Chains A and B, each alone.
Chain A
């Protein structure tokens, strides 16, 4: 039996260590992993638990991230709890198998520490890897700080392994700003955490030979479409399970999570929509602007990136006073508007107020996003609101050196 890990009521953990503790407490059967900055400490932390008797399961250090996710799929099909961790290039190398894992309906949990994608090579945090996964059929949940990285990793097992879901789950946190920043974290005791996560219940278990199963069959035009539609339905239907798991987690811990977090939106005239560790920056900026300048600023943060909470985003933005919304994308848009802008705009289109929508690209490759920058963008939204039209290009780049870069003007005829 695995030893109990003595924990204080309050620990000082960074996001990586918080995630690795959650993996330990879930008593995973197989972790197949490969190290990559900035998520390496999750794997190293887990390795230390293995070496010191805190884990009963197998720890398989494979030869690549593609191998890591392949190993997770093989292990998960053999009927046990499976998890891994990765970032950036490793995530990109896994891309093929991410689709296979979700298509085979295997509830793998992956803690992703978000990092930029090369080229140029960059180890710092942005959301390029998270965005790369957005069509992969995984549930994607976003933690904004180390406490959330711990809490949501525990929730991820409950959500993915739920009998009505049976899908893999990514638990995201921002590289370095969350993963390497130590802060107070309130952990659960091992027994309480495991009771919350629960025993793994195998489905279509390859090690149950009384009922042979074929995993990973081929379908062509006759059945592929139905399979993918069914998979999409399972992903969409996971929304209520996510809500239930968050509600149960609140009962145990008092910490409340929602698929869309919304701050000071009740009377907001302008709003920022963004993801990850920048949410706390934006909330602080909004509070200060409300106090210092009387600007009615709100912040909306989709915690659940997939399934995208279209209805809850619409609800959050359906505020009669709301005039201008800026969506901030921390990923190189590659010849389009930012992905968050597109999805949030789609939701905002059917609100009554139908606010003006603008897009900022920011923070690529770990470029700092500070309170002053958030305030500047908020004031710019206020200028749009006062003018009654978008006074800048619709898509702009924040914090970029050199001449101002922007694209697309509002039609005003």
Chain B
């Protein structure tokens, strides 16, 4: 596979225009950074499928499109199926000799938000992973249904305020833990699974390249800071993402063949979760005295998860 060289961010960010800048995503939305990184990390032809969500509604409003490559959207839940069965069509046509350009390498990628990945599209994703198609699924995880005004999803973390899991006089926001989608995908036996973040753009690009190079179904959960629903200033997207990775709220790691775990980023100074929570309006209520124990619970969960990941990495099994 042809790999675009990654020397510096400036060059990397300007060397490919298959995702056009003219789209309708919010200023400061991390989705476009992640999508551009994916499309810039390869020279191969791309077939991209998108679930309904922020990315889809912001990039393909007739008569315009931001996609200078093959792109398809069907519904909220089925981009994994669209991409995987387009891949089946590629195989069939390759065998029959009906491809327009049989020699050009083609990669199949599906994008979904956390709502369509963790919730409504869960079955379709699981089916496509089990069938073993050669494609990569990338979740743009902003931890809520941002496209419809910020409702809770099963990716919303404990304590976050959303419009359907509100903080109020008798509630501290969402009460349930975030679903561990990376573990679930690894449990499918997928050859490559990772959690990546756009502030760590080199590891993100490498992870994308690894997924595209790996034959079989790959899954990547990407942290996509949401200026609108997380409630921070649009200029602070990468700052907030730095806090997410440096507090280990979002550890960066990969799992190969369902078991071999590698941590891809170890913060030099691990920050306290208050720093991350305090930078976003959705957690503001947690700093009231009656909710302090929730912050303690979140910190405890982070510490335990980090311990777990490190043990898993050391075990090499």
A contacts, CB < 8 Å to B = 29-30, 32, 56-58, 60-64, 66-67, 70-80, 82, 96-97, 100, 104, 200, 205-210, 212-220, 223, 227
Q: A214 is contacted by which of B65, B74, B131 (Cβ under 8 Å)? A: B65
In Å, the complex CA distance between A57 and B93 comes to 8
Q: Which residue of chain A is the closest to B45 with respect to CB atoms?
A: A209
Q: Chain B residues near A77 (CB, 8 Å)?
A: 72, 82, 86
Q: Which residue of chain B is the closest to A214 with respect to CB atoms?
A: B65
Q: Are A74 and B127 in contact (CB under 8 A)?
A: no
Q: Chain B residues near A80 (CB, 8 Å)?
A: 89, 92-93, 98
In Å, the complex CA distance between A15 and B154 comes to 45
25 contacting pairs across A/B (C-beta < 8 A): A30-B85, A56-B95, A57-B96, A60-B84, A62-B131, A63-B126, A64-B123, A64-B127, A70-B77, A71-B88, A73-B78, A74-B74, A74-B81, A78-B90, A79-B98, A207-B89, A207-B99, A210-B100, A212-B68, A213-B70, A215-B73, A216-B73, A217-B60, A219-B61, A223-B62
Q: Are A30 and B92 in contact (CB under 8 A)?
A: yes
Is B25 interfacial (CB-CB < 8 Å)?
no
Q: Chain B residues near A63 (CB, 8 Å)?
A: 123-124, 126-127, 130
Q: Are B78 and A66 in contact (CB under 8 A)?
A: yes
Q: A71 is contacted by which of B61, B85, B99, B126 (Cβ under 8 Å)? A: B85
Q: Are A212 and B70 in contact (CB under 8 A)?
A: yes
Q: Quick one: given A62-B127, A64-B123, A209-B45, are A214 and B71 in contact (CB under 8 Å)? A: yes
B contacts, CB < 8 Å to A = 45, 47, 49, 56-57, 60-63, 65, 67-75, 77-78, 81-86, 88-93, 95-96, 98-101, 104, 106, 123-124, 126-127, 130-131
Q: Are B61 and A218 in contact (CB under 8 A)?
A: yes
Q: A30 is contacted by which of B73, B88, B126 (Cβ under 8 Å)? A: B88
Q: Quote the shortest CB–CB distance from A67 to chain B (angstroms).
A: 5
In Å, the complex CA distance between A97 and B96 comes to 28
User: Which of B68, B75, B123 lies at the interface centre, i.e. has the most chain A CB atoms within 10 A of its CB?
Assistant: B75
Q: Quick one: given A56-B96, A57-B92, A67-B124, are A217 and B62 in contact (CB under 8 Å)? A: yes
Q: Are B63 and A223 in contact (CB under 8 A)?
A: yes
Q: Are B100 and A96 in contact (CB under 8 A)?
A: no
In Å, the complex CA distance between A56 and B126 comes to 26
Q: Chain A residues near B45 (CB, 8 Å)?
A: 209
Q: Quote the shortest CB–CB distance from A197 to chain B (angstroms).
A: 15
Q: Quote the shortest CB–CB distance from A57 to chain B (angstroms).
A: 5
Q: Are A70 and B85 in contact (CB under 8 A)?
A: yes
Q: Quote the shortest CB–CB distance from B280 to chain A (angstroms).
A: 29
Given contacts A58-B92, A62-B85, A73-B85, 13 further A-B contacts (CB under 8 A): A30-B88, A56-B96, A60-B88, A66-B124, A73-B72, A79-B93, A207-B47, A209-B69, A213-B70, A217-B62, A218-B56, A219-B61, A223-B62
In Å, the complex CA distance between A60 and B70 comes to 22
In Å, the complex CA distance between A63 and B99 comes to 28
Q: Quote the shortest CB–CB distance from B75 to chain A (angstroms).
A: 6
